[in-house]
Structure 1
Amino acid sequence: MTVIDIPGSKSVTARALFLAAAAEGTTTLLRPLRSDDTEGFAEGLKALGYAVRQEPDAWHIEGSPAGPPATDADVQCRDGATTARFLPTLAAAGHGTFRFDASAQMRRRPLGPLTTALRALGADLTHGEREGHHPLTVTGHGIKGGAIRLDAGQSSQYLTALLLLGPLTTEGLTLTVTDLVSEPYVEITLAMMRAFGAEITRGEAPEGRTYTVAPTGYRATTYAVEPDASTASYFFAAAALMPGGAVTVPGLGTGALQGDLAFTDVLRRMGADVTTTATGTTVRNTGTLRGLTVNMRDISDTMPTLAALAPFAEGPVRIEDVANTRVKECDRLDACAENLRRLGVDVATGPDWIEIRPGAPAAPGSPAGPAGPAEIATHGDHRIVMSFAVTALRTPGIRFDDPGCVRKTFPDFHTVFEAFARGL
């Protein structure tokens, strides 16, 4: 049995950094993820004037409940969607002029529903080039609060950013959500806000779900970051795929915050043996991988993992309700289909679905395979690389055009996954 220690959750680390910056006092984050995205978030906080001290296994953040200590700042958000969406929201609660920009990849990703909502709350906000995208300037005058409507059908991060803002308003915030994707990520946000002293109530209205956030502010705390469930999916999938494979991930047990742990339920439906206890989750190969039809709206970050595993199933694998994966680091639906077809796999796609028919990918040099080494087009997307590393376990000769893009969430992925694979 292989036991693998997965790095800390990117989603939890980003939220914890926002909450720590907004809290009264000094917060210590235990075992935060160290990656390009989270380092970019921390550097963004420093640019906004926050004191952030980073040790190998703990980060200490001195909070500023009144908003960024700086009154003028330039922030580079890199490739980080949470950085690019959460930090401008934090800046709106402060007082000063804050300019945000991001990588070319992040500039392409939408921001409009969030910035429209911030404007409705009175934020002074302008887009530097294309409306609804970075670059962005926020002139902070504090946020009074109030009631707004939000469509979060494209990304739950819009809702999370506004929920995080709620306790920093002077009068509180009521959000009516007309559509929502990846709801488990919102549950992470609510649980973490409460851990920092926030008060939130949830209700239902004819036009949608409502969230009412009291203007309580936040209290500093010591917060342990749990392992990243999305990252764990690659190791779980590998164990389910390889004969005799088995892996245990400690720290992702029955009390885990992250909805992406539900990927193991998909593996269970396909025939893998899955055991979840209070302390961790174990996945074992049983010699069977069945096809299935599955709605992955709430766990769409693991869609590429399943797509990369799917050719080895005994029947078709159809993944539905994942339109939002088209506006991630790349169009993940098309990227998965393109790469599987390069390997000779029969794939069909629609606006919000992908179907992969059975038939193990053809090895390069074989009659059905590519003439030379099969190069996976990563589109600079860390999840495409890590997902197709699973495919490569049973398809020798695969290589990646940009293997280093895993630095976004797991800089040591290739070393760790290779060592893990040798033990399967």
Structure 2
Amino acid sequence: MIEIKPHRFGHCRISVPGSKSYTHRTMIAAALSDGSCTVRNPLRSQDTLLTLAALEKMGAAVVDNRETVDIVGLNGCFKPCDESIYLANSGTSMRLLAGVAALGRGTYRFTGSPRMYHRPIGHLLEALNQLGVAARAVEENGCPPVEIPGEQVSGGPVTVNCSVSSQFLSSLLLMAPCTPKGMSITISHGLVSSPYIDMTVDILERFGIQVQRDGYIRFDVKGNQTYRAGVYTVEPDASQAGYFWGAAAITGGSVTVNGVTDASSQGDVGLVGVFEKMGCKVTRAADSITVTGGTLRGVTVDMADMPDMVPTLAVVAAFAEGTTVIENVSHLKAKESDRLASTCAGLEKMGIEARAEKDRLVVTGGKPRGADIQTYDDHRIAMSFAMAGLVTPGVKILEPDCVEKSFPNFWEVWQSLYAA
């Protein structure tokens, strides 16, 4: 347990680690490349290290230098792996690897934690089945564990339902250039979290892959393309920056996050625009973004493209005048926890009126009181409610080590706010 001590700060400049989403995708692309790759500024968290370990089990040569990771690619074809590959509760690892595993040889079995076995992957398996891959959920329930046979995919047209997760499309995009025929991918439902698709396409193009697209409706990727080996740098994580911008919003202080800019493909950068509408001042520079808190007011906002930032916004909304309505977020029920329920539970313990409806979260601002916050082993719940403790005495975060999933040194960086 960690008790957050109230603190009003002036101006603070911080740095956050590399993007989790970009790290996953860059390491997978490197493992599929035609030679030696160096990944600079990778996020070294529980989730990304699970992906790295899985790629090593699937045959990629890996040297982890902490500041960089060297990966020797397999030129689009993974090696056999007889043992099960454990991915804990990393949904990104599970979904992205399940697709590219079809490029390998033999059958790959991906397992995880009990919570992982409730996280849907059925729509991706259905798409793989369309491509001739006999991928299956072991329990026949559309959730992990899953088995993915290799040597069965040649490519072709495929339709995928992305109403639950954009990662199903990202998985197909990552495997598509290594198939003989290439793939023409049509989205039948969705697409939630579309900026994550922009990230995936960005990675493909950085590695020399050509992608043609019709917005978020159809993607055409030619076959027999090669991921080009080289040196690739992961940009800072906008999702992690959000907690520090939120801290500024709540306290009236000012936080500059280095290296995160509007030029990023990370959709979570858009959170600063929401804070701006709520009454904060936002200063955008060529190498950073600064948020300065002001008098906060409730807003109505569509967060379908920024789902990871919903708990962050909800906690900030607790300190705003009026009601904040966060729309198009039903897919948060299938995250590391049911994030709508987890966020509501924490806010209600703090005396804030919050309710999760079918596809939205409604928070009415007030005067939060101290409480023990159950994190449900969800890193984003822990980091979001830490913000509240900067203003409200008695906020205690239970199981604070869950931040290791995405931001292992979060509490160390958090302390920098107290020096400002």
Give the TM-score normalised by the residue count of structure 1.
0.94
Asked if the contact 1:143–1:168 (Cα under 8 Å) also holds between the matched residues in 2, the reply is: no
Q: Which residue of 1 aligns with 2:366?
A: 359
1:148-189 per-position Cα deviation (integer Å, ceiling 9, x unaligned): 111101100001000111101101101111220000110011
CA–CA separation in structure 1 for the residues paired with 2:139 and 2:153: 25
2:237 matched residue in structure 1: 228
- What 5-or-longer segments of structure 1 have no aligned partner? 364-373
Comparing 291-300 and 396-405, the one that deviates more:
396-405
Following superposition of structure 1 onto structure 2, how do residues 125-274 of structure 1 map, counting pairs within 5 Å? 125-178=135-188, 179-203=190-214, 209-215=217-223, 216-243=225-252, 245-274=253-282
The amino acid that maps onto 2:417 is A
Deviation at 1:142, TM superposition (A): 4.4
Q: 2:321 aligns with which of 311, 314, 333?
A: 314
Q: Quote the offset at 1:275 in angstroms.
A: 1.3
C-alpha separation between the residues in 1 aligned to 2:140 and 2:404? Answer: 28
1:21-66, Cα deviation, whole Å (9 max, x unpaired)? 1111111100100110011111111111211101021001100124
1:316-395 equivalence runs, <5 A: 316-363=323-370, 374-395=371-392
Q: Is the Cα–Cα contact under 8 Å of residues 369 and 393 in structure 2 kept in the other structure?
A: no
1:21 aligns to 2:31 (yes or no): yes
Taking structure 1 as reference, are residues 66 and 261 closer, same or farther at Cα in structure 2, changes over 3 Å only?
Answer: closer
> 1:224-243: CA deviations, max 9, x gaps?
10111111100000012113
Cα distance in structure 2, aligned partners of 1:45 and 1:142: 20
Higher relative contact order (CA 8 A, sep 6+): 2
Once residues 52 and 82 of structure 1 are traced to their aligned partners in structure 2, the CA distance between those partners, rounded to angstroms, is 20
**2: CA distance, partners of 1:323 / 1:315:** 23
Whole-angstrom CA distance in 2 between matches of 1:48 and 1:192: 21
Identity %: 39
Q: How many angstroms does 1:339 deviate by?
A: 1.1
**TM-score normalized by the length of structure 2:** 0.94
Match of 1:292 among 295, 299, 302: 299
Looking at structure 2, the residues matched to 421 and 218 of structure 1 have their Cα atoms a distance apart, in angstroms, of 41
- Runs of 4+ in structure 1 displaced over 6 angstroms? none
Query: 14-23 vs 390-399, which deviates more?
Result: 390-399
Offset of residue 255 of structure 1: 2.0
Task: Give deviations 1:134-153, integer Å, cap 9, x for gaps.
Answer: 11222211421011111101
Residue aligned with 1:281, SS? strand
Give secondary structure in 1 for the equivalent of 2:27.
helix
Cα contact 1:17–1:42 (8 A) shared by 2: yes
Task: Specify whether residues 423 and 290 from structure 1 end up closer, same or farther in structure 2 by C-alpha distance, changes over 3 A only.
Answer: farther
SS of aligned partner of 2:115: helix
Deviation, structure 1 residue 113: 0.5
Q: Is the 8 A contact 1:382 1:408 kept in 2?
A: yes
Task: Report the alpha carbon displacement of residue 415 of structure 1 after superposing the two structures with TM.
Answer: 2.3
Deviation at 1:276, TM superposition (A): 1.5
- For 1:132 and 1:256, locate their aligned partners in 2 and report how far apart those are by CA, in whole Å: 33
